[in-house]
Amino acid sequence: MGKVKHLENKQGYKRQNTNILGRIDWILLLLVTVLGVISVIMIRSAMTSGQYNTDFSIRQIIFYLSGFIIVFTIAFIPIRWIKQHIWLIYGIGVLSLMILFFAPVSPVTPIINGAKSWYQFGFFSIQPSELVKIVYILTLAYVVSQHNRYKLTSDLTVDVKLLIKLFAVSVLPMIFILVQNDLGTTLVMIAILLGIIVVSGISWWIILPTFGVIATLGGALILGILYRPELVERYLGIHPYQFERIYSWLQPEEYVSEGGYQLSNSLRAIGSGGMDGKGFGDGIIYIPENHTDFIFTIIGEEFGFIGSTFVIVILFLLMLHLFRIAATVNDSFSSYFIVGYLSLLVFHIFQNIGMTVQLLPITGIPLPFISYGGSGLWANMIAVGIIMSIYFHEYRKQT
């Protein structure tokens, strides 16, 4: 119970098409392309505010073009090759985080925005934690698929062993990302882990108490931040600026001059957009870093409820398409990978949009495929490439 189900009949599965063009997932490419066009348009609109001297929309076009090269490169690599080298890929991912932690501050490993989270090579920079999220999903999918391949009984001890394995491969990447003061990415990885656990086949007699403990700890942490922040800061090492995010989320009007400034202006901007918005480039409410984490605010202000709904629908269609592949592909590793990536998308989308309308606290989590950024976009394009590979090499359609 709880495992990803695979549709099957007496004839089994067959390739959708022996023709190369027929084995390409054109729907996935179309949806990603539409999101790319939206991204470039909205980032270009954000530039009209005058806060930046650089036209980030040109850079985003370059990121997308290079991203599509990544997609088609990975698409022709058989997914079985990735499975065969999964521990090498995982080791490289963790090593990239460890080097950042242990290496001294230098031009290659600089401190940016108060954190040493980037590799800088001249004008080119990359944030390894973004790429490690995809590596993490691959590793979890491999662990679950291999465990269930040899699972012969429904004994709870077998399920506990799987849970221990999943936590074991989670420890190192989460720790090294958390010490970068990147709480947002850590939360994303927790969401991925929970999503994989739900479909892994682990008994709900284990899942429910586990989720209950996590929810209890999360609730206790929030209450501690609200009522005993000195204890949380002393024993958990959480910085005061992270407390401010909670306070500004609950009462943004009282923290307008501090952490609530972005949220207050975001609410004003989206509210002023009305049904059909003010029009491209006509947004007037100042939002710092509006081309990254608050890109949805620009969409709401300039294109209103209609434009915002259109973007949400495209994102929903993307997730629905991926779910369909996960439910029908004839390979458990591929199914688990897509479910893990869906968990990432769901968390990113709900968190990013939710924080712009005060439903959730503000975090540095971008809107997938739309927010500006090379590392985040390339990570998503790597995932798209892997799914394209699954579709190209493994996907089977019912006869």
Of 247, 249, 245, 258, residue with least CA distance to 357 = 249
pLDDT for residue 8 is more than 50: no
For residues 381 and 67, the answer to whether their CB atoms sit within 8 Å is: yes
Gyration radius of the chain over CA positions: 22
Residue 21 is predicted with a pLDDT of: 75
Q: How does pLDDT run across 98-133, given as a tens digit for each residue?
A: 998 888 888 888 887 777 888 888 777 889 999 999
Residue 259 is predicted with a pLDDT of: 63
Mean pLDDT of the 322-330 span: 91
Mean pLDDT of the 207-226 span: 81
What is the percentage of the chain residues whose pLDDT exceeds 70? 85
Cβ neighbors of 368 (< 8 A, separation 6 or more) are 35, 315, 344, 345, 348, 349, 376, 380
Of 274, 273, 256, residue with least CA distance to 265 = 256
Cβ neighbors of 314 (< 8 A, separation 6 or more) are 31, 34, 35, 38
Residue 182, CA distances (Å) to 5, 100, 186, 189, 310 in order: 35, 13, 7, 11, 31
Q: What is the dihedral of CA 309, 311, 315, 317, to 10 degrees?
A: 70
> Which tokens go with 236?
């958990």
pLDDT for residue 342 is more than 70: yes
Residue 157 is predicted with a pLDDT of: 84
Q: For residue 238, what pLDDT band results from cuts at 50, 70 and 90?
A: low
d(CA 213, CA 32): 37
Instruction: Identify the residue with better confidence: 3 or 349.
Output: 349
Average pLDDT score, the chain: 85
For residues 302 and 279, the answer to whether their CB atoms sit within 8 Å is: yes
Cβ neighbors of 191 (< 8 A, separation 6 or more) are 343, 344, 346, 347
Q: How does pLDDT run across 45-62, given as a tens digit for each residue?
A: 888 766 677 788 999 999
Mean pLDDT of the 247-252 span: 70
**Three-state DSSP state, 179:** coil
Instruction: Identify the residue with better confidence: 15 or 233.
Output: 233
pLDDT for residue 134 is more than 50: yes
Q: Please name the residue ranges forming H helices in 103-179.
A: 128-149, 156-178
d(CA 339, CA 336): 5
Bridging pattern class, strands 397-398 and 13-14: antiparallel
Mean pLDDT of the 281-288 span: 80
Q: How does pLDDT run across 285-317, given as a tens digit for each residue?
A: 888 878 888 999 999 999 999 999 999 999 999
Q: How does pLDDT run across 181-202, given as a tens digit for each residue?
A: 788 899 999 999 999 999 988 8
pLDDT for residue 237 is more than 70: no
